[in-house]
Structure 1
């Protein structure tokens, strides 16, 4: 007898093929039946012609610390996410060294959602073990951040590592991979990644490549130098010998709009030549990052404390403001957002009066110049302020979305209670289904589901996930295709989506009629070659 039978389903199985009517039988956490019959079951749920799809897989997330305060990761659960990958953009919760623990703790402040963590762990394996103690609702995977590895060895030093330092970084990557990391991530607009040569990155990635890992990269540039940055990412993958995952692919800055045709052509060329490269994307025209990221890289050398000291020095402040106003030889987010009116303050715990306002609006309120106010906010919040940057065009978003090698990743960054955030943390997956499938018809329903399920599952080597087929894990989402959609906005970023009815993780019901059940069947997933 089955544990559960989902009846009268419109099955979208993850392959990209046409949906079909049928029933789905679940036993001991696995899908054991897909077809027209109704085998006996201890419990049956009539889904009344709703869509049943594989649970969504968020391949790019920043929930590394969320589970310690919200083990269910409720914003993701409400969207139908059943598995997510953290440790992205070069920033992971481990490894940690005693010498630079405080540096990493402060640097990761903007993804800690205002909570204090024990930091009992030091190794990547210890961090995963800490997660395993929690009552997780979803499955959690992680990559090891190259930035965190470098911080553990040499802090925020803006220099080439010594042979001994490089060897130690390789050891930490190897240890992290052996403990279950799915690969190495980089964030090359952020310190310390921005200080690294291509050659250093290749060498640091080699131990991950030898263990079947993936190179997940937030490239060195996503605006005026994007093609060169993409070439670098492809080179790292080729020379290290590993697959490449281009993170949150976008085209930033009005002068560069339309360039997605060129970037995707470059991807096509690499794939035609046999290189394993795929991409992910979130469905918005604004990005989100730390407010410190709007500053030039040299201003951040040496870590958060060194940055704060520079912001207190009037002469250095003038140089920083001049760089923001005029320079484009780095990822100048203010310039490519069209000015301070394109930078929205989302989280600034020490200066909450500015949250939800653009820097220009906040500056008018404060009676200050926008650049001065932005630096003051970074200083007052000790680097732990966050922002949204409006720098993309909808045509590029749609063009990228249509590409068959592009999957969905939220890049969701949690916000402290009461603070603003980017709506992608709460809205990414329903937004694809509601806005881009039902309303805009950019994707078919079947193709959208493939991009959220089978495509990321195959990329991660999770061959028991991402498809509705006998023998697969019973990670499933049930949604109404007529009502599913996002409600989160830049002013109400935590609003729950509509139309997500049921979510199952390992056959256990974790969302029932849109409400979390409190069940915790989630597991920490460890990569095994």
Structure 2
């Protein structure tokens, strides 16, 4: 099938200036990109893009669709905002590898971040098995997968807070190599999530060395994005320096208005990496609020041994008192979400049971009022009743920092969207928000630079060959949008709204959004590197 997109403002994803032209596709590939509007020939489909931009499909470098793809392979929240490729396996805890003996506690640990799918066949065990299952299931976007540190650690050391011996680290390296050979796009970790948080720098360097053998990146939610962010960044830089791995910081930010003075020092550390030749990049969602599992507000010791042990502690009065004391007083090196966002700045976004649906949309102070209890007690009750499968949004940042990080050459756009319940609006609108708010309204970026940060730059960082740039022979992942009207519509009180201004989306040459409406089709590929 041949498709012609004509009369378009072509932005090719490289950062080069836009030009008036046409894009021709045949099958799943781009046949040609032409300057000017005159094209002869017969076409099966013609899209007149007059007044619109045609560009590569957007690449979401931080996605949490890992499990819910098996419930809805079309992922409309992503596709309707122009996302044609997602990168799964984030934050060091995901679907695979997963030895069967840990299935029950691991699913509970994962549920608050990626959800749970009862009907899924959980017998796959390895990354190869998971990717094969995903290939069989099919998807509308293309899907790539990072090998999660926590899963690798679980396979070797289980879920306890222990340090690995030299032999343990070699076994973890072997597990990582096995799953990178199966097509993993890199190594991810989340050093605030268990069991990743139990690792030390020595363990991380060992794993990074294995990833560097494949020239695959370390994608890292660092230990601190708040009070000790500078020390945290120095640790990550050490990982890059000692191992040679490419470093990619997840959802880069400075948390807490009390930490605003660290912003310039953070930028200086990025510059230091460039001076030393350490390869560093980061992704960012364009909001001053984040989203993750509500369980992260608990001190690290509460999670020791996995979710079942956590639930035991949540049922223990003495353990609860100790949790409150640690949250109120803080622990050195621990990102204390209550401290930098406040109980009134943390909102419940998702629960798994019907009994607590009335909690969704409430902050933790309001949760206490709803239940007639102290906010801490109400929060602990909620986590216990929901087996820790509770999502949250937290307000942490400053608008000027969002724009400043956005302008950095290391930056690319992501959603980091948790898909359940009443999610963060970035799930539906991160990419259009950059184009509407930060390009058109605030002029923080040029249109060409913004598109590059959504497409070609991301593809380069993660070695997605043939994607991210409009060029002959590349895959026909394409978005057509109106630069004058594109806009995110979701809000924190009503987030599940599709953006406006995107008329067409093609994935591997197949129309998946036509005149603003999504088709029920799944042309996506599993990208195995």
CA offset at residue 112 of structure 1? 3.9
Q: Specify the alignment match of 1:30 in structure 2.
A: 29
Secondary structure of the corresponding residue to residue 136 of structure 1: coil
What is the aligned counterpart of 1:356 among 338, 361, 366? 361
Match of 1:300 among 286, 300, 303: 303
Alignment gaps of 5+ in structure 1: none
The aligned counterpart of 1:170 is 173
Post-superposition shift, 1:258? 4.5
1:187 aligns with 2:190: yes
Partner of 2:503: 501
From 190, 204, 208, give the equivalent of 2:207.
204
Residue in 1 aligned with 2:335?
331
Match of 1:44 among 37, 43, 46: 46
Moved more, 294-303 or 486-495: 486-495
Shift in CA distance, 258/30, structure 1 to aligned 2, threshold 3 Å: farther
**2:389 maps to which residue?**
384
1:18-417 aligned within 5 A = 18-35=17-34, 36=36, 37-40=38-41, 41-116=43-118, 117-329=120-332, 330-337=334-341, 339-350=342-353, 351-415=356-420
Task: Output the CA distance in 1 between the equivalents of 2:33 and 2:430.
Answer: 28
Task: Map 1:467-506; keep pairs closer than 5 Å.
Answer: 467-506=469-508
Equivalences for 1:7-22 in 2 at 5 Å?
7-22=6-21
Cα deviation digits, residues 41-94 of structure 1 (max 9, x gap):
232111122110100001111111121011111110001001110101101210
Q: CA deviation at 1:444?
A: 1.2
1:328: how far off?
4.4
Please give the secondary structure, in 1, of the residue aligned with 2:44. strand
Contact 1:79–1:497 under 8 Å retained in 2:
yes
Distance 2:401 2:395 in 1: 13
The Cα shift of 1:478 comes to: 0.4
SS in structure 2 of the partner of residue 89 of structure 1: helix
CA contact (8 A) 2:68 2:116 kept: no
On the 8 A contact 2:367/2:379 being kept in 1, the answer is no
Judge conservation of contact 2:100–2:123 (CA < 8 Å) in 1.
Answer: no
Q: Structure 1 residues 399-408 or 38-47, which shifts more?
A: 38-47
What SS does the aligned partner of 1:133 have? helix
Q: 1:86-117: per-residue Cα shift (whole Å, max 9, x none)?
A: 10110121001122121211111123445323
SS in 2 for 1:16: coil
TM-score, normalised to structure 1, is 0.96
Moved over 6 A (4+): none
Conserved 8 A contact 1:104-1:151: no
- RMSD between aligned residues: 1.3
Partners of 1:426 and 1:493 within 8 A in 2: yes
Task: Measure how far apart 1:202 and its partner are.
Answer: 1.1
**Aligned-pair CA distance for 1:168:** 2.3
User: Is the 2:127–2:182 Cα contact (8 Å) retained in structure 1?
Assistant: yes
Q: Is the 8 A contact 1:3 1:26 kept in 2?
A: yes
SS of residue paired to 1:257: helix
Give, in whole Å, the separation in 2 of the partners of 1:246 and 1:462: 18
- Give yes or no for contact 1:258–1:395 (8 Å, CA) kept in 2: no
For structure 2, the 5+ residue unaligned runs are none
1:164 shift after superposition: 3.7
Alpha-carbon shift at residue 507 of structure 1 (Å): 1.1
Which is further off, 255-264 or 177-186? 255-264
1:123 CA displacement: 0.6
Per the alignment, in what secondary structure is the counterpart of residue 278 of structure 2? coil
Deviation at 1:487, TM superposition (A): 1.1
Shift of 1:331: 0.6
